Amino acid sequence: MKKIGLTTVALGAVALVGATFGGAGDAAAQERKFISIGTGGPTGVYFVVGNSVCRMVHKEAAEGRKKGRKHGIRCAAPSTGGSTYNIGQICQGELEFGVAQSDWQFHAVNGSSDKVTNCPGLRAVFSVHPEPFHLIAADGSGIASFTDTKGKRMNIGNPGSGQRGTTEVLMSGYGMSADDYAVATELTSTEQSQALCDGKIDAYGYTVGVPNAGVAVATDGCGAYIANLDGEVEQKLVADNPFYAFTTIPAGTYKTTAEDVTTFGVMATFVSHESVPEDVVYEVTRAVMENLDDFRSLHPAFRNLDPANMIKDGLSAPLHPGAAKYYQEKGWM
Ligand code: GLU
């Protein structure tokens, strides 16, 4: 049987106190369930998603204790390599939840790409914010399109990141490989902007929510700009794949975005696995949906979160029954 990875710890001390003082505390109070949420680099938006979800789960736990509605879940959201790392770990039962790009969710559940673990047991919980693919180029690099990165020093992203996979999809679309670059670096999202400002790379590709403090390090810090990606290759990617759509990074987002930038993008999605118990996914979903105003206030990329879209946009894996149960109770499905 697949390892669930969810640790249930019976708190002996609580049980003992209960016995000594005449049975105070029910069975739920004696159980602690630990869940881990895979995120991304510490300067990305996924890290904020994961830690916001934990915050809402713990808030519900605190309020539940007052009202006698206990879920016993304790949550952690460590920094990770990103989307494809998270999916791989969820599939092996090492993480219970994770944030992942909708393109890699699709490929994992359909087994349609060798860039992500084939994971038929992957389950969708909800989607979060849109993630445009950013081609970020150094001031004076002359890069105005993806083909212009040929012969340059390009950060293609760390293995395990969604940005690495999506950059490679774009490279194959343009008939390019890592050999077409003067140097192809594998820096993390946290390293890439400083590397660009230090003159170590000319460009990088990054799939991320808007605005992002990491991107601002390059745009506002050393005049890097975001190039449009709306040529034939991107048009074909959008036309052929349900998980891509054209999107706009609005003028004024960063110091160098004087005009709207047109590019293609995906959705950030929150995923789990069929082996994670229904009650755990139900409680996490409930904690998020009951505290959406809090969630919206925790990052500007979450400002427009709307349950009507969150329960369907970018979700190609089947909904986890724990999430579906909550949505049905609310009459949303
Ligand atoms: N989309 C990126 C990835 O999958 C992560 C973006 C973020 O950390 O916000 O690697």
Task: Give the tens place of pLDDT for each residue, 137-154.
Answer: 999 999 999 999 999 999
**Is residue 19 one of the residues assigned to a domain?**
yes
37 and 161 co-located in one domain: no
**235 with 261, same domain?**
yes
CATH number at residue 137: 3.40.190.10
- pLDDT tier, 5 (very low <50, low <70, confident <90, very high otherwise): very low
**Average pLDDT, stretch 219-240?**
98
Q: Which of 238, 266, 294 is the last residue of a domain?
A: 266
Domain C-terminal end among 266, 291, 312: 266
Are residues 186 and 141 part of one domain?
yes
Mean pLDDT of 180-199: 98
Residues 247 and 273 in one domain: no
Are residue 196 and residue 96 in the same domain, yes or no?
no
* DSSP state at residue 301: G
Clarify whether residues 201 and 304 are in a common domain: no
**Same structural domain, 298 and 251:** no
Q: Which of 89, 98, 106, 102 is nearest to 49 (CA)?
A: 98
Residue 209 belongs to some domain of the structure = yes
82 lines ligand 1 (CB under 6 A): yes
Print the domain residue range for 15. 7-128+268-329
Ligand 1 pocket, 305 CB below 6 A? no
- The owner of tokens 């029954």 is 321
Looking at the structure, tell me whether residues 65 and 142 fall in a common domain: no
Give 233 Cα–ligand 1 centroid separation in angstroms.
22
Q: What local confidence, expressed as pLDDT, does residue 68 receive?
A: 85
Average pLDDT on 38-63 reads 97
Both 166 and 262 in one domain: the answer is: yes
When divided into structural domains, the chain yields a total of 2
In a domain, 228, yes or no: yes
Does residue 146 sit in the same domain as residue 261? yes
Co-location of 243 and 299 in the same domain = no
pLDDT at 285 over 70: yes
76 located within any domain: yes
Task: Check whether 3 has a pLDDT greater than 80.
Answer: no
Predicted confidence at residue 201, as pLDDT, reads: 98
pLDDT digits (tens, 9 = 90+) for 259-283: 999 999 999 999 999 999 999 999 9
- Among 237, 266, 295, the domain boundary falls at 266
**How far is the CA of 283 from the CAs of 39, 182, 258, 323, 329, in angstroms?**
19, 50, 43, 9, 13
- Please state, in angstroms and rounded to a whole number, the distance separating the CA atoms of residues 89 and 85: 6
Signed CA dihedral, 149, 150, 153, 159: sign only: positive
Tell whether ligand 1 has an atom less than 6 A from the beta carbon of residue 40.
yes
| Residue 161 CB–ligand 1 contact under 6 Å | yes
Is 2 a member of any domain? no
Ligand 1: does its nearest atom lie under 6 Å from the Cβ of 104? no
Residue 308: count other Cβ atoms within 10 Å of its Cβ.
Answer: 8
- State the chain's mean pLDDT as an integer: 92
Q: Give me ligand 1 centre to Cα 206, in Å.
A: 8
**Can you tell me the distance from the alpha carbon of 135 to that of 56, in angstroms, rounded to the nearest whole number?**
33
Atom of ligand 1 nearest to the CA of 41: 8
pLDDT at 30: 45
162 and 239 part of one domain: yes
How many other CB atoms sit within 10 Å of the CB of residue 331? Answer: 6
- Whether residue 168 lies inside any domain: the answer is yes
Is the CB of 289 within 6 Å of ligand 1? no
Residue 1 forms part of a structural domain:
no
Closest CA to 87 of 69, 107, 67: 107
Q: Look at residue 229 and tell me if it is in a domain.
A: yes
Residue 99 has pLDDT above 60, yes or no: yes
